[in-house]
Chains A and B, each alone.
Chain A
């Protein structure tokens, strides 16, 4: 009896298949033909749209003109691409077809905000070298894994390196000023009324954590547009909605947070219960999320919505800057050799992308990239220290506007033409100039920027043309180009 059949009688079929799959994945990873791409970004930064656009372009890349800067596609070395979901994984597939349907519908709409984890794997068959350079034809297959998840969950990752005391201290700083201080007056008052060393009343904890969740929703609302919302699962619970794991909150009102205070609190007191719940949350929710999905990435794309900060002011800018720095701490960076790729892969190339570049005129793209550099400055410096290649780019996954010109006040002005989001009425506007230095207080308040949201374009009209996106091909070339050489 052949070995595999004998093994199958001893161990269940699924396990064999899974083991074989894992072995194949490991070999491919070692041989550099399998890349796990991390598409990172806060909520509403355009991750789902980007993944949809990427998959759409790659699936049509064997005979497209739309990717001139992606050298494999440009040299027509791609033979075919297909969706190749790995067997034996628990992750639901990325809802590509649904997203595309919404974009192609009449009237078109952007895909909804992601509320659960999903995964997609593409198998790309290509010729390793051009036709001029070899006598026999040979093909290779390259696997690309992309994971989509709610951006809110990303902000839980920094919690892994913090204790409850640290987290409370951080929140103390955050709640001390700005919008948070204003909006959290009532909640803080209620919190101050509770004696933390008294035996915990679970009802009170539940009530307070519900109010804290409502507060987080308020911070996140577009009128306040704050980004550092922790814990992320509170605002996007997924399948943990209503669970006791999500019932705790920080204590920003204490004057100081020495470790002894938390250790010496009596058993069953509020302090102890909250700390215990925090640690449970960290272990059961965040650590598992991290271990299953985040520790094995090879390349990373960080999407940042710069226009939101320009529309919303200085507090939003600083908050986003802090949120992004915190998130990027949690990824494994550094050079990735052969063995490391098998056992502990590390991210060796990061692309920082400003999404929605089609909402500004083309001559502002360079300014947009510079402005993005301001936001990620701190994080990028640390990555450079680890020897990771970084690059900034302004891109748009689906181009929703057209370039146009108008003569205003005797001056030629380049502007944008598109359809307004929601109402779908045609609109033309000059959205303002993107600053390359941090704007002063006065600039934030004046009516200097007006970046509006546009409705999605008619995909079928521009399919296969370079005008269906902005710089998606350059992003692909930077992230994956060297794997196809």
Chain B
């Protein structure tokens, strides 16, 4: 690591290469889209195998899906903040195949989950889920409307952590179903924002 004195004494002699920076940005956007797609494929496959014909078993979340859901939630937050920007790539040949793949699997997964789960019966945890604790202070997922998700109903104080004193947590399966609900509600938000997705 550079000591503070050394770093501050550096002289930036190169002008920023705008084309390279633009390409770097697109590559990272593409990596996020493809990673999100990979996770969605896994969730969809697991959900379809276990729950499509056994809706009464949806309250028992299998170990693979348990590991995927917190990450799915991170990416759902990311999509809320980046969806409009992704639309700007719709004319870019580097991005088109991956955007098409992504939106296809996103909508398929959403449809599957909504058709098998009754979310209106689920409680709303009044505490931060474990992965929310992990992203406190992480500015990319705290901007704008995302910040509200971490606040109490009064809109000013942050929700308590799940391990906080006096917090009575819901059953882990219920928390997992709440993560599915958040995913669905994020999609509804996207629809309300009239985000332009890939034209099918």
**Does chain A bind chain B?**
no
Query: What residues of chain A have their CB less than 8 Å away from a CB belonging to chain B?
Result: none
